[in-house]
Amino acid sequence: MKRFFSLLVVAILAGVMTLGAYKMFLEPEAVVVTKNETTQKTNLIPTAYTATNINTAGTNVDFTVAAEKTVNAVVHVKQYGISKTPRNLMEYFRNGGTTERKIQGAGSGVIITEDGYIVTNNHVIDGATDLEVTLNNNKSYKAEIIGTAPQSDIALIKIDSDEKLSYIPFGNSNSAKIGEWVLAVGNPFNLTSTVTAGIISAKSRDLNEYDGNFQSFIQTDAAINPGNSGGALVNIRGELIGINTAITSQTGSYVGYAFAVPSNNARKIVEDILEFGDVQRGILGINGDNLTKQVMEKYDIDETQGVVITNVGEDSGAKKAGLKEGDVIKEIDGLRIKKFADLTGYVNSKSPNDIINVKIIREDRELNLPVTLSKYVIQRYNIEDVGVEVANPNPEYLKKFNLDHGVIISKALSPKMQRYNLEGLIISEIDSKKVKNVLQVKQIIESKYPEDDITISLIDRDGEKREFVFQN
């Protein structure tokens, strides 16, 4: 028996040694192939309620229907402008420091009507002297700017086509849910008609929480890159729920976080531009803050979600409805308000004189107050190229100069202008256009090209009209 086990052990050792020798000396060496992909660098750096009967339940979500519905309605927007910056030292010395040259930027846009109205981002078309729109079928058209809303980064442009165009209907962004599947459609890195998929990662996301300019974006993990700006964020029914606008990245490319302007806000801006020529913003008339630990302690509040009112504006809808400092806003029209961006996002989709129902907590009591929204009026504006700040004057002040229009210079901004004692003087016209308020001044200035001169008609303290030309 011992002899048998000895022979068995010897046989096993011999087999192992034979296999090892084969592996070491006879078997061919395995080859590992690594595919190195390179991509060309680009210079681009920087989105009618309908219902369809598509079943979106289940785990096997089909994106093909939404892609087919939307890919032909997302366009490539190219903008051309003028730069006066010298490209090199030779141009600097030869041309006295400036030279004009064509510059080009590119982004995306969404056709929203069959007759050629297109929504895009303001930063896609900002500063353009010419706009070119290319459809998915490679047809190109010249486009005109109909109106812009820089604060919301939305612009409306239009092309004229002999045929009816494919378009994307607006969806209700308030109904979009976290975790819902979405598609981002656009032209990243000049790759036309690109569709990527993801989910809604968050809603009412504010990217500038600490600068006082509260925003309300839809956050998605669908891949969005430079060139996607102005493109469509759609649900799997093919409805527009957002205009792709921004990414958060340390590299300049997508790293998992992308943001879109909600479709309800974009739709409201478009309707205002078409009806009034500018955006008619309704405001609640309050200042507020999120419920941080410090704020809760200051106002002795037990609530952890909502917006605490820190100030109520005089003559505002909030004041007339009875809202007070220290009230905590919990809901508006049944929509839960967890933070200030929730409030901003909803109110920005409303118009002046709209009535909203505000649910508040006041001293452990729940109150529902109807509030009529006031019209947002710009009070001050800096004309940087002139070097002055202007404000809306008291009508009685204008009457002293027999005027029914004009804005008042409230402050000189540049050292040069500060020497002339301009405070209190009236600007009656800009580029021969009468101005009645600060908003009109802002619209005229922001519609001009960077190289345009500005002609100011000024009423001096003796009531005499004088004209000044400020050259760029």
Query: Tens of pLDDT along 294-329?
Result: 999 999 999 999 999 999 988 899 999 999 999 999
Instruction: Note the pLDDT tens digit of each residue in 388-400.
Output: 999 888 777 888 8
Judge whether residue 267 has pLDDT over 80: yes
* Average pLDDT, integer, range 113-126: 95
Q: What is the DSSP letter of 448?
A: S
pLDDT of residue 33: 28
pLDDT bracket for residue 420 (50, 70, 90): confident
pLDDT of residue 210: 39
Cβ atoms of 362 and 303 within 8 Å: the answer is no
pLDDT of residue 299: 92
Where is pLDDT greater, at 88 or 220? 220
Provide the token pair at 2: 């011992």
What 3-state DSSP class applies to 114? coil
The catalytic residue among 123, 166, 253, 289 is: 123
Where is pLDDT greater, at 157 or 453? 157
Distance of CA 184 to the CA centre of its chain: 15
Provide the b/e sequence for 366-400 (b: ≥16 CB within 10 Å): eeebebbbbebebeebebeebbbbbbbbeeeebee
Where is pLDDT greater, at 4 or 188? 188
Cβ atoms of 176 and 233 within 8 Å: the answer is no
* Average pLDDT, integer, range 371-392: 88
pTM of the model: 0.70
Provide the token pair at 67: 């892609």
The backbone torsions φ and ψ at residue 235, rounded to the nearest 5 degrees and listed phi first, read -85, 175
The backbone torsions φ and ψ at residue 439, rounded to the nearest 5 degrees and listed phi first, read -60, -40
Q: Please give the Cα distance from 317 to 285 (Å, whole number).
A: 6
Provide the token pair at 443: 């619209």
pLDDT of residue 104: 75
Where is pLDDT greater, at 42 or 119? 119
Taking every pair of Cα atoms in the chain, the longest distance, rounded to a whole number of angstroms, is: 129
Strand partners, 433: 430
The catalytic residue among 152, 153, 201, 272 is: 153
Long-range contacts of 427-434 (CB under 8 A, 24+ apart): 427/390, 427/456, 427/457, 427/458, 427/459, 428/403, 428/457, 428/458, 428/459, 428/465, 429/455, 429/456, 429/457, 430/454, 430/455, 430/456, 430/457, 431/455, 432/457, 434/405
Match 């612009």 to its residue by tokens: 155
Answer yes or no: 431 catalytic: no
pLDDT of residue 399: 85
Q: Please give the Cα distance from 338 to 325 (Å, whole number).
A: 18
The backbone torsions φ and ψ at residue 136, rounded to the nearest 5 degrees and listed phi first, read -65, -20
Residue 31 CB neighbour total at 10 angstroms: 5
pLDDT bracket for residue 43 (50, 70, 90): very low
Name the residue among 403, 460, 412 with its Cα closest to residue 435.
403
Q: Please give the Cα distance from 220 to 231 (Å, whole number).
A: 14
* Average pLDDT, integer, range 375-400: 85
pLDDT bracket for residue 19 (50, 70, 90): very low
**C-alpha Rg value of the chain to the nearest Å:** 30
* Average pLDDT, integer, range 345-353: 93
* Average pLDDT, integer, range 107-133: 94
Name the residue among 90, 74, 29 with its Cα closest to residue 231.
74
Answer yes or no: 206 catalytic: no
Q: Please give the Cα distance from 204 to 218 (Å, whole number).
A: 6
Judge whether residue 460 has pLDDT over 50: yes
CB-based contacts of 412, cutoff 8 Å, min separation 6: 387, 388, 389, 418, 420, 422, 423
- Average predicted confidence (pLDDT) for the chain: 82
- β pairing state of 454-459 and 307-312: unpaired
* Average pLDDT, integer, range 138-152: 91
pLDDT bracket for residue 214 (50, 70, 90): low
Answer yes or no: 162 catalytic: no
Where is pLDDT greater, at 170 or 208? 170
pLDDT of residue 443: 82
The catalytic residue among 173, 204, 229, 410 is: 229
Cβ atoms of 173 and 219 within 8 Å: the answer is no
Domains of the chain, start order: 69-159 (2.40.10.10), 173-276 (2.40.10.10), 283-375 (2.30.42.10), 380-470 (2.30.42.10)
Name the residue among 218, 244, 220 with its Cα closest to residue 230.
244
Match 């192992």 to its residue by tokens: 16
Provide the token pair at 303: 């609530």
Instruction: Note the pLDDT tens digit of each residue in 45-94.
Output: 333 444 444 444 444 678 999 999 999 999 999 998 765 555 444 544 45
Q: Please give the Cα distance from 409 to 393 (Å, whole number).
A: 9
